[in-house]
Structure 1
């Protein structure tokens, strides 16, 4: 084989490996469960998500079903969700109404705090980082405002309004938001019951990787 052929073969192999890695990474980042109403189906479809949720629970102490109920409300588990667009003069696209983005719909400022305290390279469209963010934020809410990490209703109100807004009672005159918080509470209770039926199976699945 000529030297040119060897170089060509090596280049082709390297390109194939790079393409495979890219496809694998893209597949992980764009996974979205087909059934977002069943936590067992969500985690069975991507056991890395379950492992990430377990790590966040161990790190921050917030129940998995509470974190997942908040994420369900914020993005329905879509990785690249943005806030609604803003329009100049009613029809000219002019950015977005807020900087909220990703699985957890975290805004720039609070995400920056999370990066400073936990991981400077964290990405909002990465499930692992997003579930860690929700655990981190609910942990801070519990420490600052004494809201139980098991209290999905009030944790969501603090998540939506910000800890300062919650402490000022900014949610009290927002009947629509109280309704949403109640949905999160009910979703967390449903996820809790569902997870009890499949948790040992999921634990076995992630243990099988080692």
Structure 2
């Protein structure tokens, strides 16, 4: 006779439910749907974004649009690998990783300056805090308004030095990315009004 091991079934169910929670939202162009997402059981994405807004003064729609553009809300997002001889998987184009696509060096700077020594780029609350920190430094260092998604994203994508040099002015592709991010922030802002923002 076959016997059901209920503790094993419960453990498998728990693992499956937690792994399901770690996947990217399916409707990433709807901030209300995105806010229904959770990291595991304890990390509420909306409260993390609102906490970051309070801490750094950068509005939730700007923060969320940045993460949307960078990773599509995928916790383990990475740039594609280059190939050697056209077919052998090789190095990645950069060290960008996680929700925020933060580079190794910039992430290390964030850890030092924020004191958030346990932060992980694959954790939404940590990643959104990083985005807020980065945008706040752009606001303070370059006179960009905290609501100016276009310029905040330019500085985020290009890096502060390239932004200061104006390298983006001759790069229509980067400008298009920034425009799309600005439009998404506006869309998210309108949606937040509908879902209790």
TMscore range, shorter length:
0.7 to 0.9
1:69 alignment counterpart: 65
2:88 alignment counterpart: 92
1:50 alignment counterpart: 46
Say if 1:111 and 1:173 are closer, same or farther in 2 by CA, change over 3 A.
Answer: same
2:113 alignment counterpart: 117
Separation (CA, whole Å) in 2 of partners of 1:111 and 1:48: 22
1:137 alignment counterpart: 134
Contact 2:37–2:44 (Cα < 8 Å) also in 1 = no
Which has more radius of gyration? 1
Separation (CA, whole Å) in 2 of partners of 1:90 and 1:72: 30
Structure with the largest fraction of helix: 1
Contact 2:58–2:147 (Cα < 8 Å) also in 1 = yes
Following TM superposition, by how much is the alpha carbon of 1:152 offset from its aligned partner in structure 2, in angstroms? 0.3
Separation (CA, whole Å) in 2 of partners of 1:165 and 1:66: 21
Relative to the length of structure 1, the TM-score reads: 0.82
Q: 2:191 aligns with which of 189, 194, 197?
A: 194
Following TM superposition, by how much is the alpha carbon of 1:117 offset from its aligned partner in structure 2, in angstroms? 1.6
Runs of 4+ aligned structure 1 residues displaced above 4 Å come to: 15-25
Provide the alpha-carbon RMSD of the alignment: 2.1
2:28 alignment counterpart: 36
Separation (CA, whole Å) in 1 of partners of 2:118 and 2:194: 35
Contact 2:52–2:128 (Cα < 8 Å) also in 1 = yes
Separation (CA, whole Å) in 1 of partners of 2:14 and 2:57: 34
SS of the aligned residue for 1:99 comes to: coil
Separation (CA, whole Å) in 2 of partners of 1:123 and 1:67: 17
Contact 2:76–2:99 (Cα < 8 Å) also in 1 = yes
Following TM superposition, by how much is the alpha carbon of 1:184 offset from its aligned partner in structure 2, in angstroms? 0.6
Aligned residues: 187
Separation (CA, whole Å) in 2 of partners of 1:136 and 1:22: 33
